[in-house]
């Protein structure tokens, strides 16, 4: 089970979930040992599949720091803090935490700071690797450490 560490002690996750704003982005990071990366990927995929069924969920993507790092960053978009909170406090979701490896995890909710000064004027789609591609790359990179 991950050990939770606040990303910003002045603005706790609990306080952020009480704000009535949307859309919002959840950012959470996981730091694991190299041999625990495959388990993290498996559990994250199960959580992502469950979250995708929840009201207000828009999208999610798990990223991994490069150069053999075993730090992962999840980016999830929700319609509102209320929608995220309902999914986050759901007993079924809470029970999933026991299956994660003993990672260090931090979470933070972001709102939109600026809309008009964006970099792209048209939607940009980046081709993300599949879960299996990420798992193969993660296993290879962590074994090299």
The domains located in the chain, with CATH, are 3-144 (3.30.70.100)
Joined together, the tokens standing for residue 74 give 């999840």
Q: Is the pLDDT of residue 124 over 50?
A: no
| pLDDT of the residue at 125 | 46
| pLDDT of the residue at 140 | 55
**Higher pLDDT among residues 2 and 69, named by residue:** 69
Provide φ and ψ at 106, rounded to 5°.
-130, 145
Nearest-angstrom CA–CA distance, 70 and 37: 7
Identify the band that residue 143 occupies on the pLDDT scale cut at 50, 70 and 90: low
Q: What mean pLDDT is predicted for residues 120-129?
A: 46
Length of the chain, in residues: 145
List % helix, strand, coil for the chain (3-state, nearest 5). 35, 25, 40
Q: Is the pLDDT of residue 135 over 70?
A: no
| pLDDT of the residue at 126 | 45
Nearest-angstrom CA–CA distance, 42 and 66: 19
In this structure, the strands spanning 24-31 and 57-64 are unpaired
Q: Which of 78, 87, 81 is nearest to 58 (CA)?
A: 78
Mean pLDDT of all residues belonging to the chain: 76
| pLDDT of the residue at 131 | 46
Joined together, the tokens standing for residue 35 give 């041999």
Q: Is the pLDDT of residue 14 over 90?
A: no
Instruction: State pLDDT tens for residues 37-85.
Output: 888 888 889 888 888 999 999 999 989 888 888 888 988 898 999 998 9
């Amino acid at each position: 089970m991950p050990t939770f560490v606040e990303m910003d002690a002045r603005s706790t996750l609990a306080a952020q979930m009480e704000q009535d704003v949307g859309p919002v982005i959840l950012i959470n990071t996981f730091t694991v040992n190299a041999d625990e990366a495959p388990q993290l990927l498996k559990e994250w995929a199960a959580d992502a599949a469950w979250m995708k069924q929840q009201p207000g969920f828009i999208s999610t993507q798990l990223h991994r720091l490069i150069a053999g790092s075993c730090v992962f960053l999840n980016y999830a978009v929700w319609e509102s803090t209320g929608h995220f909170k309902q999914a986050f406090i759901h007993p079924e979701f809470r029970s999933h935490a026991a299956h994660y490896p003993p990672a260090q995890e931090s979470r933070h909710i972001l709102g939109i700071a600026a809309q008009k000064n964006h970099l792209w004027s048209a939607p940009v789609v980046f081709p993300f690797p599949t879960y299996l591609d990420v798992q193969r790359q993660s296993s290879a990179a962590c074994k090299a450490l």
